[in-house]
Amino acid sequence: MKYTSIIFLTHSYWPRQLKIGLQGDVTDPRTNSFLYILDILPRLQKLPKYILLENVKGFEMSSTRDLLIQTIENCGFQYQEFLLSPTSLGIPNSRLRYFLIAKLQPEPFPFQAPGQVLMEFPKTESEHPPKYAINAEKKTEEKKTGPKICFDSSTQCSGKEAILFKLETAGEIDRKHQQDSDLSVRMLKDFLEDDIDKHSFFLPPKSLLRYALLLDIVKPTSRRSMCFTKGYGRYIEGTGSVLQTTEDVQIENIYKSLTSLSQEEKIMRLSMLQLRFFTPKEIANLLGFPPEFGFPEMTTVKQRYRLLGNSLNVHVVAKLIKILCD
């Protein structure tokens, strides 16, 4: 078997700094290992043939990204940047990530779009070029105002929209309905376990009371779910979707006048939805791990959630590697 050198790099913290205004970027100590690789890369006697890099959305606007591009260009790499989610492959899980693929060759990729961050996997030559792209040359202005990417061209991005029965805007509700109507994405039920003790994964009454208006609720027939973080199962807000196991109950009826009820009445009504956490195995399924994948028996559910929350989508990475090596 012929050996082919490839560097795979992953980091995940730039957006948090950009959001809260610290903007440590290249001065943050956590970038040291990455900057070290960029430092030694041009001095290697034999450069790797391929590079695949993953990061969270926001890295494309960082100074560290600029240094990366400058380094690989000087080394003779042809490259392309992406912002991709598993939904592009029909997987009902939103997990938007930055990716860069680079190849040590004189000729550019056939789909290469210099200065752009592509929002789709590359098409064949007979197809139209990707319709969603960010011009990397404009990212200086975007740093000042914040990038505004609207994935749904039929919905205007507005900061003032009506609040509905939950803490969601009309635009968010419309987006979710459109996601559930996208037949190119599979239903969640294809990724769920058949035989589990669902009672052990039910949300406790305390969580139902405190976070009822913040929950992202999906059904087995839904074609979407939020990104699952390492805090899933311990924290509620922003860590991932929860599954409604009683599909015949209308969520709108449950939430109608919910805030005017007593605590006991709220619990009784919310319990009708039978909301549960996704199991670690189900999250692994959504992340593209093979059916035979499993954890050692001594690992706790909490540990499994934490490990999966730091993971990548296997199918997305596999497709990028295939594109890179073709």
Encode pLDDT of 169-178 as tens digits. Answer: 778 878 888 8
Pairwise CA distance, residues 97 & 86, whole Å: 9
Q: 202 and 105 share a domain?
A: no
> Residue 13 is part of a domain; what is its CATH number?
3.40.50.150
pLDDT for position 145? 41
Sorted by sequence, the CB contacts under 8 Å of residue 162 that are 6+ apart come out as: 169, 170
Q: 118 and 195 share a domain?
A: no
Q: Convert the pLDDT of each residue in 67-92 to its tens digit.
A: 999 999 999 999 999 999 999 999 99
Q: 111 and 204 share a domain?
A: no
Choice between 12 and 322, residue whose per-residue pLDDT is larger: 322
Q: 213 and 118 share a domain?
A: no
Q: 12 and 117 share a domain?
A: yes
Question: What is the mean pLDDT of the segment spanning 297-325?
Answer: 94
Question: What is the mean pLDDT of the segment spanning 155-181?
Answer: 64
pLDDT for position 275? 96
Q: Is residue 181 part of a domain?
A: yes
Q: Is residue 290 part of a domain?
A: no
Domain count for the chain, please give it. 2
> Residue 270 is part of a domain; what is its CATH number?
3.90.120.10
Strand segments, DSSP code E, in the chain are 6-10, 50-56, 77-84, 97-104, 116-118, 133-135, 217-218, 242-244, 275-277
Q: Is residue 135 part of a domain?
A: no
pLDDT for position 69? 96
**Averaged confidence pLDDT in the chain:** 83
Q: 117 and 196 share a domain?
A: no
Q: Is residue 157 part of a domain?
A: no
pLDDT band at residue 151, thresholds of 50, 70 and 90? Answer: very low
Q: 175 and 233 share a domain?
A: yes
Q: 10 and 119 share a domain?
A: yes
pLDDT for position 276? 97
pLDDT for position 274? 96
Q: Is residue 15 part of a domain?
A: yes
Pairwise CA distance, residues 252 & 246, whole Å: 13
Q: Which domain holds residue 40?
A: 6-123+315-325
pTM of the predicted protein model: 0.80
Pairwise CA distance, residues 211 & 88, whole Å: 30
Residue type, 222: S
Angle at 126 between CA 124 and CA 132, to 5 degrees: 65
Q: Is residue 116 part of a domain?
A: yes
Q: 16 and 90 share a domain?
A: yes
Q: 236 and 319 share a domain?
A: no
Q: Is residue 182 part of a domain?
A: yes
Pairwise CA distance, residues 131 & 129, whole Å: 6
Q: 107 and 14 share a domain?
A: yes
